[in-house]
Structure 1
């Protein structure tokens, strides 16, 4: 059976015949995390690749910043019957941000810090590959900090006149020491106080490859391995790493896929 869906709604239901329905929650646009539920016992394939499904039917996947606009989601029932759903997502336009006056060592880091940057990247990459079978990602997320938005997902930054990689988080501007709270339940899989680019860096795993990352922290208040509940105080905002002022850079990942945190929380003025 083939069904088609294209929408920017926050919730949708795709019926797959007599056995029940598949439910998807999320925005059908680039950068979105999609949370789903199928009939327990079914296998789910996203663009031809099997993804993990909980014993109770929950699963997650995401669309990257510049993802293609047509995707395939297939349910395979225990009998072998396949139910295919075509997903059509919307293309986004992104802002261009220019930042001047950044120390040149951060725009083009000196060769002697290459090993440090590589180690930082390896630690972050390893933490984001955590595939704990917890269902915290199904919660309605909350903002981790109070303050105005000073940077948005997907924006292209030009540092001292040189185009850089896109920004993959949402920035919340606030003074050093402002509390940072867990946006959903999870377990702390990383805290490093002094990464070269991101300064104080914390990752909280929410299960099935979904994780939150907090950058530029002045202080971490929980250790690696700590289980946290939504709203728990976990860190303080800072101005560490490559920054021009104190703020929280909050990121959401589905494994290596970088997603837009703003799509998970109530809208907030910039």
Structure 2
């Protein structure tokens, strides 16, 4: 008994006392962080060939941000987008995609050059001494055009295959330029279709009217601007009558105006211009067919 008692005292002194209750529950185990994605988002894909005055479509990561040479590019919810290249676009452009949580993805786009129609004229270049009336009116006209083209609408015509707004003989070509004794003049910014005054003009694609001039402008005459979405818009010029109003939604093929010869025009015709975020485009490339 003395041995047993001494052993009990030794155990108590050492702190080795048998537990009187259930063992404590184990604490939470540390959670390891989820492994990082092993693949980066795919870079934006371009459909077709980029060319001066042309328009191409593409697809990016939904929700990503795009820039073309540092300028923002609008991207639809499904990742679709379009890019336009001006008549004088540089030989290449840099498209950058920034998706959430991923490094930037860059795509270098080669822009094919084009041979433009040049018309030598054996006469001195005349920039033109404008009248006081023109000088007074033109700044306000340009301001209206600029303001209209900054509007963003819900138009989705940019997804469609465009159609000619009028049918007839093509009388003016995009990019054509006169050379006055070696000095280049301004180039033609659209496609002209020779049609009699009063010929119906239709919307080349779905869109929203962003400008319908109440009176003829000095150069464009009666001017109708239609936004097709994503920065792409049509300009229909020299009209004799406009039959839609700002804010109207129009459908492809819907009559919107009548052709004429208002503004600076040598005869009745329709001038159709296309722009994408300020870049002037060749309607012939977008439509892909002659107007006849």
Fold conserved (TM > 0.5)?
yes
Deviation at residue 85 of structure 1 after TM alignment = 1.0
Partner of 2:7: none
Which one has the bigger strand percentage? Answer: 1
TM, length-normalised to structure 1: 0.84
Change in Cα spacing, 1:269 to 1:139, as seen in structure 2 (3 Å) is: closer
Classify the secondary structure of the residue corresponding to 1:195. Answer: coil
Q: Are residues 158 and 108 of structure 1, via their aligned partners in 2, closer, same or farther at CA, if it must alter by over 3 Å?
A: farther
Q: Deviation at 1:127? A: 1.0
- Which residue of structure 2 lines up, in the alignment, with residue 6 of structure 1? none
Considering only aligned residues, what root-mean-square deviation do their CA atoms show, in Å? 2.6
Give the aligned length: 249
Q: Aligned residue for 2:79?
A: 57
How do residues 12-51 of structure 1 correspond to structure 2 at under 5 angstroms? 19-20=41-42, 22-51=44-73
In the alignment, is residue 122 of structure 1 matched against residue 122 of structure 2?
Answer: no
Deviations 1:2-38 (A, max 9, x none): xxxxxxxxxxxxxxx7745634345411111222221
1:175 to 188, 191, 196: 196
In structure 2, C-alpha distance between the alignment counterparts of 1:186 and 1:262, rounded to whole Å:
19
CA contact (8 A) 1:132 1:209 kept: no
* Residue in 1 that maps onto 2:132: 111
Cα 1:98–1:233 change in 2 (3 A) is farther
Residue by residue over 1:194-238, the C-alpha shift from the partner in whole angstroms, topping out at 9 and shown as x without a partner, is 100111100000112110001100110111111001110001110
1:249 to 250, 265, 271: 271
Provide the residue aligned with 2:212 in structure 1. Answer: 191
For residues 228 and 248 of structure 1, the distance between their equivalents in structure 2, rounded to whole angstroms, comes to: 19
What secondary structure, in the 3-state scheme, does the structure 1 residue paired with 2:105 have? strand
TM-score normalised by length of structure 2: 0.78
**Counterpart in the other structure of 2:222:** 200
Gaps of 5+ in 1: 1-16
Higher Cα radius of gyration:
2
2:167 touches 2:291 (CA, 8 Å); kept in 1?
no
Q: What's 1:259 paired with? A: 281
- The C-alpha deviation readout for 1:167-205, integer Å capped at 9, x for no partner, is 110001110011111011000011114100111100000
Residues 26 and 191 (structure 1), Cα distance of their counterparts in 2 relative to 1, 3 Å cut: farther
1:83 alignment counterpart: 105
- Structure 1 stretch 142-151 or stretch 81-90: which is displaced more? 81-90
